[in-house]
Amino acid sequence: MGKNLAQKIIEKHLLSGEMTPGSEISIRIDQTLTQDSTGTMAYLQFEAMGIDRVKTKKSVAYIDHNMLQAGFENADDHKYIQTVTSKHGIYFSRPGNGICHQVQLERFGVPGMTLLGSDSHTPTGGGIGMLAIGAGGLDVAVAMGGGPYYLPMPKVLKVNLRGKLTGFASAKDIILEVLRVLSVKGGVGKIVEYGGEGVKTLTVPERATITNMGAELGATTSIFPSDDITKEFLKAQGREEDFTEILPDADAVYDEEIEIDLSSITPLAATPHSPDNVKKVSDIGKIKVDQVAIGSCTNSSYMDMMKVAKILKGKTVHPDVSLVIAPGSKQVLNTLAQNGALADMVAAGARILESACGPCIGMGQAPRTNAVSLRTFNRNFEGRSGTKSAQVYLVSPETAAYSAICGVLSDPTELGDRIEITQPDSFMVNDNMVLAPAPEGNDVEVVRGPNIKEFPLNKKLEGDIDCKTLIKVEDNITTDHIMPSNAKLLPYRSNIPYLADFCLTPCDPEFPKRAKENGGGIIVGGSNYGQGSSREHAALAPLYLGIRAVIAKSFARIHMANLINSGILPLAFENENDYENISEGDNLVIENPAEQIQAGSLIKVLNKTNGKTINTIITLSSRQKDMILAGGLINYMRSMNN
Ligand code: MIC
Ligand code: SF4
């Protein structure tokens, strides 16, 4: 039986387990990446493991998220990451060098390798045929130390691409169409593998836009074959030697398959407040626009920026629109500066931001009250822009640029002829903003600012859990709800006690206070609880507040792993209707959870307030079972070492 691409790479890296969907496997990790907002925690955890040097083929630490330096905190964290990485053998991408996923794709990614990153958009690397997975910082720390990465063997879903894009339809519109078809839950437990004739019509940056936003499907990762187009890209990056061809077998078998006809795609937009609320731009109509933001790890490549520059050339941004542009990397920005495209953008009135995440993570450029903001980003969750009342639409760079000129949401098809940008034969390669680590044996002082606090640790699971339901939330709660991130909070990513006071506040501002007053408790959620970011702060802050369990209809992949790593019980209703049988404030009792977990996956929860017994399911591998019983991954590792 022929193998698909995902199976081929997993098989090569398999350390344990059977490759049957759903059963736990572990794989060897070749490369890791961290970024600064999850990185401080990951390196604190790496230090706690007491390992001297990283054991991966290449590990890179990026500074790209927490770039506003309104106080000492972010700069302190940058210095900590710079020194701790130098000491332990990790490359350091300096602030200004670009967004982690864009730079990793340009400079370090290798087809066929595995990459684990402490950021949910790590699957961008799938654009060059890597098996690139996002995870919590602790899992990445373990991988840096040479440990395996555990995951349930995903199903493989093939997206068969037919035909060719026409007019002003772009890669962003392809992934928006996939999101429309599959929804934000459609990829859970799956690897999305792209195949079919249409693949040959897409450049690497276009493929990377698609794999990047596969994160919004909830997928484990997304991947394209590594073919001649990949080779051309790597050659232009001066890295032809990193190329290997990786294709699925001709008779490859897939668990599921869908088909997308590229020639039928027209410009699309994800309307507020979810990436799968997708409609045709032409159907939404000419709504007035206040802000346009172009950039992020989804759409900030050279090709994207050149299209934007061409649309803006000789025009002026509409008087009622603020247009901000953040090229994805120093390489991209430098090229635009050299070939004059940057001048065209500036002349048109664009506000140029540094090469970083910026407004995508609410680091500045919060729109005005009730604003309509068009963004080429990947997430439009309510409030993520920094303005709760803002209406954020996710669109392609072409739609964004054209609308910025028009002042209303506009279909770029009106521009007439499709803009074709060719990839340069060689990109501007200059890695002077990447610092190599200190040679092994050198003494490096790790600099820790006062903002860096210890991370919370759970205790061994013992006795009964008898506590209150502190909050009950609905479906699709994101990690942005659980642990909001914005310009004011991001500087505290290495300070859980501070952050905990903002936990779940978008759902209920009183939640942290109530959790503290009750000495902890239980959270009740709907389906896909914890979708979005990989931030383990969404588990660590609840842990700090004494949360013992989350009972939900279903969980998002990375968040569920982060809960288990923190020793918090992720319990899924056996019968979703039981969601109605718990109200906020109800007193819940889980008798001897340790014994129940040892006995199997059924966990009985007694609602003392209404007398009902609710069956829940905990899905754990035997390793995760030991981890939960030990009180989380760090305690588990410590117990293994003793
Ligand atoms: C995001 O896009 O939500 C982030 C910010 O990049 C997060 C990481 C974080 O919370 O620091 C992610 O995607 O994992
Ligand atoms: Fe940065 Fe936005 Fe990409 Fe997250 S999604 S890595 S915040 S650019």
Task: Evaluate if residue 642 carries a pLDDT over 80.
Answer: no
Ligand 2: centre distance to CA 350 (Å)? 21
| CA dihedral (601, 119, 79, 31) positive or negative | positive
Q: Whose CA is nearest to atom 3 of ligand 1?
A: 533
Domain with CATH 3.20.19.10 in the chain: 465-641
pLDDT in tens, 174-221: 999 999 999 999 999 999 999 999 999 999 999 999 999 999 999 999
pLDDT in tens, 424-468: 999 999 999 999 999 999 999 999 999 888 889 999 999 999 999
Q: Take residue 84 and report the two structure tokens written for it.
A: 């701790």
Ligand at minimal distance from the CA of 42 is: 1
Residues with CB under 6 A from ligand 1: 37-38, 65, 119-121, 134, 361, 485, 532-535
Residue 6: which residues within 8 A CB-CB, separation 6 or more?
131, 154, 156, 191, 193, 221, 223
| CA dihedral (50, 54, 56, 58) positive or negative | positive
Exposed / middle / buried, residue 600 (Cβ in 10 Å: 0-12, 13-18, 19+): exposed
Domain with CATH 3.30.499.10 in the chain: 5-264, 268-415
Which pLDDT belongs to residue 638? 84
- For 523, phi then psi, to 5°, come to -105, 140
pLDDT in tens, 305-340: 999 999 999 999 999 999 999 999 999 999 999 999
Residue 240 half-sphere exposure, CB side, CA atoms within 13 Å? Answer: 6
Closest ligand 2 atom number to CA of residue 37: 7
Which pLDDT belongs to residue 451? 87
Mean pLDDT score, 15-19: 98
Mean pLDDT score, 499-515: 98
Ligand at minimal distance from the CA of 300 is: 2
Ligand at minimal distance from the CA of 381 is: 1
Phi-psi region of 591 (alpha: psi -120 to 50; beta: other; left: phi over 0): beta
Q: Is 357 in the pocket of ligand 2 (CB under 6 A)?
A: yes
pLDDT in tens, 77-103: 999 999 999 999 999 999 999 999 999
Ligand 1: centre distance to CA 615 (Å)? 33
Ligand at minimal distance from the CA of 67 is: 2
Q: Whose CA is nearest to atom 4 of ligand 1?
A: 533
Which pLDDT belongs to residue 454? 85
- Quickly list DSSP for 262-315: GGG---EEEPTT-TT-EEEHHHH---B-SEEEE-TTTS-SHHHHHHHHHHHTT-
Confidence of residue 641 (pLDDT cuts 50, 70, 90): confident
Given a contact cutoff of 8 angstroms between Cβ atoms, the answer to whether 374 and 395 are in contact is yes
Closest ligand 2 atom number to CA of residue 65: 1
pLDDT over 90 percentage in the chain: 97
Q: Is 223 in the pocket of ligand 2 (CB under 6 A)?
A: no
Question: Across-strand partners of 149?
Answer: 27
Mean pLDDT score, 575-587: 98
**Domain spanning 5-264, CATH architecture:** 2-Layer Sandwich (3.30)
Given a contact cutoff of 8 angstroms between Cβ atoms, the answer to whether 131 and 113 are in contact is yes
Q: Which of 143, 113, 141, 160 is nearest to 10 (CA)?
A: 113
Mean pLDDT score, 33-45: 96
Which pLDDT belongs to residue 489? 96
Q: Whose CA is nearest to atom 12 of ligand 1?
A: 533
Which pLDDT belongs to residue 455? 86
> Regarding the domain with residue range 465-641, which homologous superfamily does it belong to in the CATH classification?
Aconitase, domain 4 (3.20.19.10)
Q: Which fold has domain 268-415?
A: Aconitase; domain 3 (3.30.499)
Closest ligand 1 atom number to CA of residue 37: 11
What does the alpha-carbon distance between residue 300 and residue 146 come to, in Å, rounded to a whole number? 32
pLDDT in tens, 46-78: 998 899 999 999 999 999 999 999 999 999 999
Exposed / middle / buried, residue 1 (Cβ in 10 Å: 0-12, 13-18, 19+): exposed
Residue 442 half-sphere exposure, CB side, CA atoms within 13 Å? Answer: 15
Q: Which of 36, 31, 57, 56 is nearest to 100 (CA)?
A: 36
Ligand 2: centre distance to CA 30 (Å)? 23
Which pLDDT belongs to residue 640? 81
Which pLDDT belongs to residue 596? 98
Closest ligand 2 atom number to CA of residue 379: 5
Q: Whose CA is nearest to atom 2 of ligand 2?
A: 360
Encoded amino acid at 551, one letter: I
Mean pLDDT score, 154-164: 98
Ligand 2: centre distance to CA 120 (Å)? 9
Which pLDDT belongs to residue 619? 96
| 3-state class (DSSP) for residue 587 | strand
